Amino acid sequence: MAVYPPKPAKEPPLTERGPIAWVRHNLLSSPYNITFTILGLAILYWTIPPFVKWAFLDANFAGHTKADCTGNGACWVFVKEKLNMFLFGFYPQDQLWRPKTVIATVLALGAFAKFVPGLHRFKLLLIAIFPIFAFMMLHGGSFGLSLVETSKWGGLLLTLVIASVGIVLSFPLGILLALGRQSKLPIIKSLSVFYIEFVRGVPLITVLFMASVVLPLFFPEGVNFNKLARALIGITLFEAAYVAENIRSGFQAIPKGQYEAADALGLGYWQKMALVILPQAIKVTIPNLVGTFISLFKDTSLVMIIGLFDLLAMVNVTSNDRDWLGMDTEGYVFVAFIFWIFTFSMSMYSKRLEKKLNTDKGK
Amino acid sequence: MAEQTNSKKLGEPIIQLENVNKWYGDFHVLKDINLEVRQGEIVVVAGPSGSGKSTMIRCINRLEEYQEGSIRVKGIEVNNDVKNLRAIRSNVAMVFQHFNLFPHLTILENLTLAPVWVYKTPKKEAIETAMHYLEKVNIADQANKYPNQLSGGQQQRVAIARALCKSPDIMLFDEPTSALDPEMIGEVLDVMMKLADEGKTMITVTHEMGFARKVADRVIFMDAGQIIEENDPETFFHHPESERLQLFLKQILNH
């Protein structure tokens, strides 16, 4: 028999580390891999330079009219001139400071929340007060602010209003529906299942049509229910079903032992759900939830069909201007870019949140 | 050792099971279980897997329902009555095979959750109590870590501290060492023995026969949903009466 002393750890061989090893492992590891690498580079070569040429090198930035766009590239003058339309729709020009203040407040609160630690305690209060403040500012009609009907709201402003209201309201509603679906009470359970399956079985367009055309039939004559409010209700109810399904998938990832431990400690149903199960279920569903919210954000453009002018609809409106005919390409590229900025930030935020909430940091 | 435990003074009956029957669908899991545990008594339940040991102790804090018979804890009937359930669960704590710590909360938060939310203990006091019990299980230095950063043995000790936080009279252990690496079983058993010395009433389902020998006042053998034999450890291990227990002991001890 023999005894062996413990050995110190050595570095891996040179061929297994550094950038050369990375390229060999990831780009050139097999004939297939080499083919895909070449194909990928070719696609980038064919698409990126022409786009850069159109969007930047040959593009026109200076000037105020269509006549200033002389090059072959994009005419960004159009976007520049119509920027307020893209951002705020038909919101009266002299009142634009109001939506701008609301947006500035959001940014300021975001920054404060990051740097002023004490603000956390007022989080709920702010969440309750801010929508009221935003509505007062945007809608006006009191405090000496002139009335701006919601039909005048448009562009990015409208998109953000619909998306944020939709997200904020569908989230708690979705949680309740998911809890309902898990419920042991057969009536609550079947109502939740029926609602979720029904809503998931119809397209959002149908829901919006129903909200805008069918819903008013149930109101007494003369009651004119705001079009935007109807769209908001439709979208919220629609998204809640998807949120509910996401959260349900999160519930399924929670081991039975978590419920039992909570029960054994004496937690009641709502305490168990709110303190133990939901935080974990939501954590595992963050990628799916954010996916749902991203599609909600993009689906807001469907409100166009019930006569609301969101960001995407503004492309039609602005490029139909007689002075700017034929500018849809620039409009669509610009709008796509704005959509991308928002959806990409949402997915970055979700990644950060996942990281922050990850408690399995190893030993 | 045996004389020492036998001479221990036991109190009033604190858990009483009378003719408890339970079925999972058509499957009869618990058959006419009769068991009385006295204040301060340490009962170890042994038996092959699927014999109903865990199910029996899980009926005591109503993680499982039973269909016939009655279970009383400190004279309170274990049933669906919310008030009874609350009283029982504040008095009966459980430690699970897989620890079941809450992974999204730190060790300290795991311990203070129930005291703060269920028993409305002021937060400062809850933290003090929690730290006291964490020290007791030798893990106070890990209070601000998350469960998944600890080893299995450490997690189980935290789970024991969490169970102790509401100072229950009764501790139920459901195979507390079965999911642990062999090297970590000892540290958990040490903590359990410390509790046993302090006079907590304990019912432990375990395969650790060494633990049963050292600290149990009574060992119960279950098979196929029945209590087959119960005896003091000395008789249980050295002069088992039933054939089934003789076979069981032969299989688990002769290696």
A22-63 pLDDT, tens digit per residue, is: 888 888 888 888 999 999 999 999 999 988 888 887 877 777
At residue A222, the pLDDT reads: 67
| HSE-CB for B137 with a 13 A CA cutoff | 30
Query: Is B98's Cβ below 8 Å from some Cβ in A?
Result: yes
Instruction: State what percent of residues in chain A have pLDDT above 90.
Output: 37
Judge: A257–B93 Cβ closer than 8 Å, yes or no.
no
In this prediction, residues B4-15 reach a mean pLDDT of: 72
pLDDT > 80? residue A225? no
Distances (CA, A) of A11 to A16, A21, A194: 10, 14, 60
pLDDT > 50? residue B2? no
Q: Rounded to whole angstroms, how far apart are CA atoms B20 and B81? A: 18
* Partners of B218 in the β-ladder: B43
pLDDT > 80? residue A119? no
At residue B255, the pLDDT reads: 60
Which residue from B86, B104, B163 is facing A283, i.e. has the nearest CB? Answer: B104
Interface-testing mutation among B55, B83, B86, B102, with chain A (most A C-beta atoms within 10 A): B102
ipTM above 0.95, yes or no: no
- Mean residue pLDDT of chain A comes to 86
Interface-testing mutation among B54, B113, B145, with chain A (most A C-beta atoms within 10 A): B113
pLDDT > 50? residue B4? no
Q: Tens digits of per-residue pLDDT, A152-211?
A: 888 999 999 999 999 999 999 999 999 999 988 999 999 999 999 999 999 999 988 888
Nearest CA in chain B to A266: B89
At residue B1, the pLDDT reads: 39
Which residue from A260, A271, A279 is facing B117, i.e. has the nearest CB? Answer: A271
pLDDT > 90? residue A105? no
Q: How confident is the model at residue A361 (pLDDT cuts 50, 70, 90)?
A: low
Contact A269, A287 (CB under 8 A): no
Lowest-pLDDT range of A121-125, A189-193, A208-212, A244-248: A121-125
Range ranked top by mean pLDDT from A284-288, A345-349, B156-160: B156-160
Judge: B94–A264 Cβ closer than 8 Å, yes or no.
yes
Range ranked top by mean pLDDT from A89-93, A233-237, A315-319: A233-237
At residue A71, the pLDDT reads: 73
Which residue from A265, A283, A359 is facing B114, i.e. has the nearest CB? Answer: A265
At residue A363, the pLDDT reads: 37
State the pTM of this model: 0.84
Judge: A257–B63 Cβ closer than 8 Å, yes or no.
no
Distances (CA, A) of B56 to B17, B160, B223: 9, 20, 12
At residue B7, the pLDDT reads: 53
| Residue A9 region by backbone torsions, left for phi larger than 0, else alpha for psi between -120 and 50, else beta | beta
Q: Tens digits of per-residue pLDDT, B81-133?
A: 888 998 999 999 999 999 999 999 999 999 999 999 999 999 999 999 999 99
Give A147 or B217, the one with higher predicted confidence. B217
Which residue from A264, A275, A280 is facing B89, i.e. has the nearest CB? Answer: A264
Q: What domains can you pick out in chain A, each with its CATH number?
A: 14-57 (no CATH), 76-91+148-357 (1.10.3720.10)
Q: Tens digits of per-residue pLDDT, B22-69?
A: 999 999 999 999 999 999 999 999 999 889 999 999 999 999 999 999
pLDDT > 60? residue A359? yes
Judge: A266–B119 Cβ closer than 8 Å, yes or no.
yes
Lowest-pLDDT range of A135-149, A254-268, B111-125: A135-149
Q: Rounded to whole angstroms, how far apart are CA atoms A229 and A58? A: 44
At residue A113, the pLDDT reads: 75
In this prediction, residues A207-231 reach a mean pLDDT of: 79
In this prediction, residues A97-115 reach a mean pLDDT of: 84
Write the CB contacts of A302 (distance below 8 Å, at least 6 apart in sequence): A204, A205, A208
Query: Is B61's Cβ below 8 Å from some Cβ in A?
Result: yes
- Strands B68-73 and B13-24 turn out to be antiparallel
Judge: A260–B90 Cβ closer than 8 Å, yes or no.
no
Closest CA to A125 of A113, A115, A137: A113
Interface of A with B in 274-293 (CB under 8 A): 275-276, 279-280, 283
Contact B51, B227 (CB under 8 A): no
Q: Tens digits of per-residue pLDDT, B192-230?
A: 999 988 889 999 999 889 999 999 999 999 999 999 999
Query: Is B93's Cβ below 8 Å from some Cβ in A?
Result: yes
At residue B97, the pLDDT reads: 94
Write the CB contacts of B214 (distance below 8 Å, at least 6 apart in sequence): B1, B193
Residue whose structure tokens are 């609350």: B86
B107-117 and B123-136 helices, crossing angle to 10°: 130
